[in-house]
Each structure stands twice: as C-alpha cells, then as structure tokens.
Amino acid sequence: MKFFIDTANLNEIKEAYDLGVLDGVTTNPSLMAKEGISGEANVKAHYKAICDIVDDNVSAEVIATDYEGMIREGKELAKIDNKIVVKIPMIKDGIKAIKYFHNEGIRTNCTLIFSAGQAILAAKAGASFVSPFVGRLDDISFDGIDLIEQIVNIYANYGFATQVLAASVRHSMHLIKCAEVGADVVTCPLKVITGLLKHPLTDSGLAQFLADHAKAAGK
Ligand code: G3P
C-alpha cells in the first residue's frame, strides 16, 4: 500500500518524507490556494520544489475544463519533472484528455470520482490512478469505503492496471479500512499518517521500561 500526503505544504511534505514512509504527494487547486500559491510561474516553481523533496508521484491538477486547455496545461505540468502525474477531473473532456495522455506515456490521476461507473470509465481511458473521495461521500451519508471496495473488486475482475487512490481520507480508521479493502494508495493529511503512531499502551509501556531500567541502574 502506498502512502501519499494530501497537501501543498513543503514542511509537511518534508516531515512525512523524513519518516521514510512517503510514496508521493497529491495537491489540488484548493490546497495550492491554502499555501498562497498563484500565478503560472509560482505554481510551476512550487511543483518543482515538491518534486525535489519526494521520490515520485506528484499529482498536479489542471485548471482548464475543456479538452484543448487540459492538454495544453497537462503537457506544461508534465514538463516540470518526470515525477509529475497530471490530475484531471472526471468530466467528459477529462476522459478524452486521459486517453490522450495515456497514448503519450504521460501518467494521469482522474479526480473527483464518486461512483463505480466513473471509475470504470477512467480505467478504460487509461488513467494511472483514480481518486474516489471517501470523506466527502461519508459527509452525505454514503459509505466511502464501500465505494473503494467496489472499485478494487471491479478492477481485479478485469485486470485493469489503474491504481485505486483513496482520497479525502480524514482519519486513521479511514486509512485502516482502505487497507482492509485493498486500496492501492491512500492520500491524507500528515496528521492521519502520524496518528497511526499513537497508542496509550505504547506510551505507558515505554515509560515503565525506562523507569525499571533507571531503578536497576540505581538512578
Ligand atoms: O484528496 C482530495 C482531498 O484533498 C479532499 O479532501 O477532506 O477536502 O474532502 P477533503
């Protein structure tokens, strides 16, 4: 299972990378705006800075929603670094753009997936990743994890090479449930990754070990 961090914050990306468990980064226009990044040159420089931290898999999203615009922007993004995966929204022109990039050998991540049908279409077009949004489905009383499981099963039935990238993963249980149903990748904030570290019995057990050691050493 791959771990991607869902942020455009360079410090958080560095912290997750230094932990030694990070396989990639996902961004979106909202996350870039949160970091105050705007303007073509700044956006490109920021993606390059992210690529310089991690080993691979940096999703960079197009803003255009028409076919020609997505192709133009996607090509520019792909030129920044070989680690870039062009992120394309799940719309009709987006599917055509994914097919185009597939034929050109440029990796894509089809985002804003909320149904199995959308995931099938993206896989047929040759998306490298699909991003179903777990938390946002939970928000409207649909089970996001059920969708991940459904897509994983469908892709296995047909041997699709598209990887299921569970997005909008908001807490540790989301991540663990994604692992149980076989998501290829999860993307989540840093706190979800570091949250996996925590258990009160680990803390109290370690405190006891250290206290016993100090006692035996006569401290
Ligand atoms: O990866 C998609 C993600 O950024 C959306 O997360 O928490 O805004 O639904 P959220």
Cβ–ligand 1 contact at 23 (below 6 Å): no
Does ligand 1 come within 6 angstroms of the Cβ of 128?
Answer: no
| 5: Cβ contacts below 8 Å, ≥ 6 apart | 12, 13, 16, 22, 24, 25, 26, 187, 188, 189, 190, 193
Question: Looking at the predicted structure, is the pLDDT value of residue 218 above 90?
Answer: no
Catalytic residue status for 87? yes
Task: Single out the catalytic residue among 34, 75, 83, 87.
Answer: 87
How does pLDDT run across 20-54, given as a tens digit for each residue? Answer: 999 999 999 999 999 999 999 999 999 999 999 99
Is residue 76 a contact partner of residue 67, using CB atoms and an 8 Å limit? no
The tens digit of pLDDT for each residue in 6-25 reads: 999 999 999 999 999 999 99
Report which DSSP code applies to 56. Answer: S
Tell me if the pTM is above 0.75. Answer: yes
Q: How far apart, in whole angstroms, are the C-alpha atoms of residue 96 and residue 176?
A: 34
Residue in the structure block whose two tokens are 């076989």: 182
- pLDDT of 76: 98
What is the distance in A from the centroid of ligand 1 to the CA of 215? 49
| 133 Cα to the center of ligand 1, angstroms | 7
**Cα 58 from Cα 86, distance rounded (Å):** 8
